[in-house]
Every structure is written in C-alpha cells, then in structure tokens.
Amino acid sequence: MLKQTRRILFPTCAILVLITTGVLAQNEPAFAPDKMDTILYGVAYYPEYMPSDRLDKDVELMQKAGITVVRVGESTWSTWEPRDGEFQFAWMQRVLDRLHQAGIKAILGTPTYSIPTWLYKEHPEILVTHNGTAPPLGDSHFKDHPAVIGYQVDNETAPTGIPTHYTNAAFLERLKQKYKTPETINKIWGLVYWGQLVDKWDDLPPRDGILNPGYKLEWENFQHDIVTEYLAWQARIVNEYKRPDQFITQDFSGGVHTNLDQWAIARNLDIVAENPYFETQKRLDASGIWLAGDLGRSLKHTNYLVTETNAQTIGWDSRTQYPQYPGQLRLVVYTHLAAGANMVEYWHWHSLHYGQETYWKGVLSHDLEPNRTYAEVSRVASELKRIGPELVNLKKDNKVAILFSADSANALSYMPFSDHANYMSILRQMYGALYELNLEPDFVAAGDAKLSRYKVLLVPPLYSASDTALQQISDYVKNGGQVVMAFKSGFTDEHSTVRDVMAPGPLRAATGFHYQEFTNLAEPERLTPDPYGVGEQNKGAMWEEFLVPDTADVVASFDGPYWKFPAITRNRYGNGVLTYEGTVVTDALQREIVHEVLKRAGLTGPDQNLPPTVKVRSQERSSRSPIHMARDRIS
C-alpha cells in the first residue's frame, strides 16, 4: 500500500509523511465547523498503552456508554516506524476497523510531537527542547478510512524559546529580511544605549543574556511565527491527501496564550480545538472553561472542539487528585456546549499504568473496569443522543469584546509594574467582571480592524502597540464605540520603545488627558468620590498615573497628602466614550465600571440581575428560537 515515504527536516523539528494510494476526489460535502450533525462526545484512546490487548473490550464498553468519537494516534511515531524506514500500519487498521464497526468516529493525530529515539539519534538537531521531545508529523495512510472524520496536527504546540545554533541563525535571517540594515535595529531597539551598536549583522549578540526589551519582543514574535509556520506546513501536507469532508484541527492547551499567535494558527485550520482543564470539587467554576471557549470560538468566529478535558483527575503526580463530585462531569459538558463547543472529548479513556501521567486519570481507573465516572459519561451520552442535534452549531452574536495584545503581555513581563498583578491578571479581572454580569465576550486581537462589530471594547493594559493599532481604537470611539481602557496603554510602540511625547501618545485625544509622571503605590489607596457605591472596595493599588485632564471628566480621584490625581476618567470623543483606569482597581470596582458602560451601551437586561449562583449563556440557532442554559455555580 505504501508508495512513498517523505521525511522532511524542518528547522528544529521533523516531519514524517506516509503517502498512500487512494481516491483523492470525494463526493462528500466539504467540512464546515458550523454545519455538524450533532454534538460529538468521546475520549482520547491509546490502545497501544494498554497492559494487554483489550481493543474489543474497550470498544464494547465505549459503545455501551454511547461514545461517538475517539482521538487516536498522536504520539505514536515509534510505533508506526520502529526502525528507520520500516513501517507498521496493521495495528491502527485494526483499531479503526473496530471503531468503525461500532459506529464510532475517529480523529487521527499526526504523531509529530513525540519522535522516535532512533530519529533523534540520527538527527540531533531536531531536539531543541529541555525535555527531549520535538515536534514532527505523520500519517495520511488512513485518510480513506470511513471512521476518520478529521486530523489533529501536532499537540498543544508551543515554542521552546530556547536559543540554539539553528534558531539564532533563523532569527538573524528574519531580521535581515525585515529590517534590511543593522542601522534600523540600532535605532528601533536603541542599541546605542550601553554602547551596544551593531555595525555588521554578524556582530549581533545571540538571544541568551539579552536585556534589551525590543530584541526580546522581536524574539518572542519570531517564536510565535515558528509555531504558526510549523503547523501551517503540517496542515498543507495533510491537505494534499485528506478528503474534503475531513477537517484539520490543532488543540490549544486551553485559554489565552501569550507565546502563540492563535489567530494566525487558526487561519490554517478548518476548526479550532481547545483542551480546557479545570479545577474541581469545591473549586469548580465556569469562568476558566468559558474563557477558553470564548477564545477558541473567537479565533474563527464559529464553533470549536474540546479535544481534551478532565475525566477523573488531573496532575503530574498524586498531589492534585480531586475527582469530580457526583454530577459535576455532566454539568461541565453543558458548560462547554454553552460556549459553542461542537464536541467534548475526555483525556482519556483509560488511566496509564506508567509514565509521567499515571495520575492523570481517564474515564476508567487503573483497574479498567466500569466505575462511577463511566456511569456519568453514559448518562450524558444518552442525553446528547437525544438533544445533541439541538445543541450543535450554536451561533453567538456578542456585542462585547476584550482586546488581546500578546505584545503588551510580553513587553510588560520585561518591565513589570507589580509582583501582584500583570497583563493577564487585568485581562482576567475584566473577563471576571463580565462573567459575574452574565455577559459573554468575544476576544479580538490588537490590530484587528473590524472593531465596529462590537458596542463595547474592554482593553487590558495596551502597553505595546503600533500607532495604527491605537488609531483603530481612537476611531472606534469616535464612531460611537464604548471603551474601558486600563493604565499604561499607549506607553510604548510595537518595539516596546517608549514614545517621546506626552503619554498616552496617540491615545491622548481619545482619552482626553496627558501625563508625565506615575508612581507605584506601596499600599492600596482610597478614591474619592465613590460614584459606584462600592465602599471599602473604592480603591486603586500598585500603580497611579499623574493624569492631567484635557477634555476628560474625572470620575474618581486619589486623595493622598501630596497628590490627588484622577484614578478613573471618562471622555466623550466623537460619538463614543472612553473610560480609563489609571490604576489597578479592585474587582468590585472593575465590575461596576464595566456594568455602567454596558448599561450605557444598552447591553443590560434581566440576565444581569440574576442571583450570583445562576449563570446564563445565550445563543442563536439557525432556524430555531434561542436556547438559554442556566447552571448552579457550586461554591
């Protein structure tokens, strides 16, 4: 069957492609993420990890439970190709055949995140990570198998960040392409400082030990692009062979990532997948699950898949074993679906008897017999069999968005403003305000020109951004948008270089103030007045900008012995309003600031007055009335 083996060495990684004969043209309609038939419900399955052959027994148990999909094969290169050039397919053929026979669909992983030992003996240059794994790719041998509905390229891919001979050379090449001459980086990164001017490209010091923020930010974006290009390249190869009705996905490790360009990666996928793990028992909360879901859904503005989530327990050892209380597993499935997921898959079917993830327990315990979790999975599966077609392809039309800037998160990590807060904690605080208010946002990347689809935009510290990105926000306000913006926004440009004009630079007209100074706050300080009525929580902490209003109204101010600068301002600019926080506000204050802006934007209603334990998500379905789903928050 095998016609050709193609192995390509990508910078710092490797790829294995197994090319087979097969009918490339298909009559099936092409895959569309929002046109799926029903909710898929299943598990990752590693028959090869079993202590003994249990394929029949396992598939029988899955079938009995009502499982409809499994993911297979994503860490199996050494099983496919135990020795250089010797391939084994029969084992997977048997697995897929058995699944198909049981009516269970399969998602086939490229085995590239785990390479065989013989391969890195031969090509040590592909090893750039600390833990001895590196990303390769493989397999379209089974593309024609009727059980296979899609492919997952690699697995939770992330850059190592490690400077090697190869990555340093590639980075230098990138700089040459992008900036043409050393004079340009001397200028934009300020290499004259400490006398580090670069006269020839080759004099540029390698990444290790670099302190220059501009260099570090460029390196970070270079790392983003390595991952994007690596996954795009795998997707291109899979696209050469897959059927039109099969999809390509990649599974993000869950949540918002500052070390990836998730939007760029998503453009190479047919559907996005997320692996949102969560805390359980008393600490179960939908907030983190929905944050991952809202992000996953926003990447392509459509439905997404959950490829991995908690079955029994998670963790690298037995210090974090908190199996779900009775009913929590079921509750969480609907939580995923409420965010727009079209599939929920557990990691994983059975519990491992060896290896680092021994205590990351699957649906089955180590004894491999039915148990409490299996029973709850069975119950959910039977429900989904009935109502899955009602819950699939749910559409969202959110009017609030959170503006995400990986550059700002990274640049602030080089120049932190506090040990107790950072870019992501402010982003999570803003997300949390919406969560408490029962309003779900989209995420939008800084620099996205299409802001006008939203009525309200929440902006965590937009510390590093180009003039263009800032202009988009100003225009958005001018055209009627409502913005809640955090401190430090506009302070540096896209190279993390401070602007040499009064802060906040290009945002001055939209914010309606300027400032020359700022101070850390050793202790939280009271604000005055208390326009939101939050009492003891009417405080700013960690950071205070010495805002001098030009056109902005002062909402609340600091009240120190020497300085009484505004802490919160509100500026009408064109048809919109920009509300600014010149400090780290308390959670309660953030919620009220956001609430007030939402009201002004006409986005509030009865859902904002529910008891705190009731959470609501709304969605439209193609031809039916909207579904409302509520859940009790366990506290």
Q: How many C-beta atoms surround the C-beta of residue 440 within 10 A?
A: 25
Q: Is 540 in the site for a second copy (CB under 8 A)?
A: no
Query: What residues between 45 and 104 interact with a second copy by CB under 8 A?
Result: 46, 48-49, 51-52, 75-79, 82-83
- For residue 15, give both structure tokens: 């790829």
Q: Are 271 and 235 in contact (CB under 8 A)?
A: no
Q: How many C-beta atoms surround the C-beta of residue 625 within 10 A?
A: 7
Toward a second copy, which CB reaches closer, 283 or 450?
A: 283
Q: Is 281 in the site for a second copy (CB under 8 A)?
A: yes
Q: Write the DSSP string, 87-126.
A: ---HHHHHHHHHHHHTT-EEEEEP-TTS--HHHHHH-GGG
Query: What residues between 593 and 612 interact with a second copy by CB under 8 A?
Result: none
End-to-end CA, the chain: 57
Which bin fits 156, alpha (ψ -120 to 50), beta or left (φ > 0)? left
Residue 631: CB partners within 8 Å, gap ≥ 6? 286, 331, 334, 335, 338, 614, 615
Q: How far is the CB of 131 from a second copy (least distance, A)?
A: 6
Q: Choose, by CB under 8 A, the member of 116, 512, 566, 576 that binds a second copy.
A: 116
Q: Is 517 in the site for a second copy (CB under 8 A)?
A: yes
Site string for a second copy, 491-510 (x = CB under 8 A): ----xxxxxxxxx-------
Q: How far is the CB of 556 from a second copy (least distance, A)?
A: 21
- For residue 532, give both structure tokens: 């939101």
Q: Are 20 and 2 in contact (CB under 8 A)?
A: yes
Q: How far is the CB of 423 from a second copy (least distance, A)?
A: 12
Q: Is 564 in the site for a second copy (CB under 8 A)?
A: no
Q: Is 114 in the site for a second copy (CB under 8 A)?
A: yes
Query: What residues between 339 and 378 interact with a second copy by CB under 8 A?
Result: 351-359, 365-369, 371-372
Considering CB under 8 A, how many residues would be counted as binding a second copy? 95
H-assigned helices in 397-534: 406-414, 423-436, 467-478, 508-511
Closest residue by Cα to residue 45 from 347, 271, 290:
347
* Cα 550 to Cα 514: distance, rounded to the nearest angstrom: 7
Q: Choose, by CB under 8 A, the member of 317, 397, 587, 620 that binds a second copy.
A: 317
Q: How far is the CB of 8 from a second copy (least distance, A)?
A: 19
Toward a second copy, which CB reaches closer, 123 or 366?
A: 366
* Cα 542 to Cα 584: distance, rounded to the nearest angstrom: 6
Query: Burial, 343: exposed, middle or buried (Cβ in 10 Å; 0-12, 13-18, 19+)?
Result: buried
Toward a second copy, which CB reaches closer, 92 or 433?
A: 92
Strands 566-573 and 513-514: unpaired
Q: Is 121 in the site for a second copy (CB under 8 A)?
A: yes
Q: How far is the CB of 313 from a second copy (least distance, A)?
A: 8
Largest CA distance in the chain: 82
Q: Is 562 in the site for a second copy (CB under 8 A)?
A: yes
Q: How far is the CB of 314 from a second copy (least distance, A)?
A: 11
Query: What residues between 371 and 410 interact with a second copy by CB under 8 A?
Result: 371-372
Using CA of residue 55, residue 60, residue 65, residue 68, what is the dihedral sign? positive
Query: What residues between 421 and 480 interact with a second copy by CB under 8 A?
Result: none
Query: What residues between 180 and 209 interact with a second copy by CB under 8 A?
Result: 189-190, 192-200, 202-205, 209
* Cα 26 to Cα 145: distance, rounded to the nearest angstrom: 13
Site string for a second copy, 217-256 (x = CB under 8 A): ----------------------------------------
* Cα 338 to Cα 396: distance, rounded to the nearest angstrom: 10
Tell me which stretch binds a second copy (CB under 8 A): 124-132, 239-247, 249-257, 572-580: 124-132
Toward a second copy, which CB reaches closer, 293 or 566?
A: 566
Q: How far is the CB of 432 from a second copy (least distance, A)?
A: 22
Q: How far is the CB of 517 from a second copy (least distance, A)?
A: 6
Toward a second copy, which CB reaches closer, 73 or 276?
A: 73
Toward a second copy, which CB reaches closer, 77 or 304?
A: 77
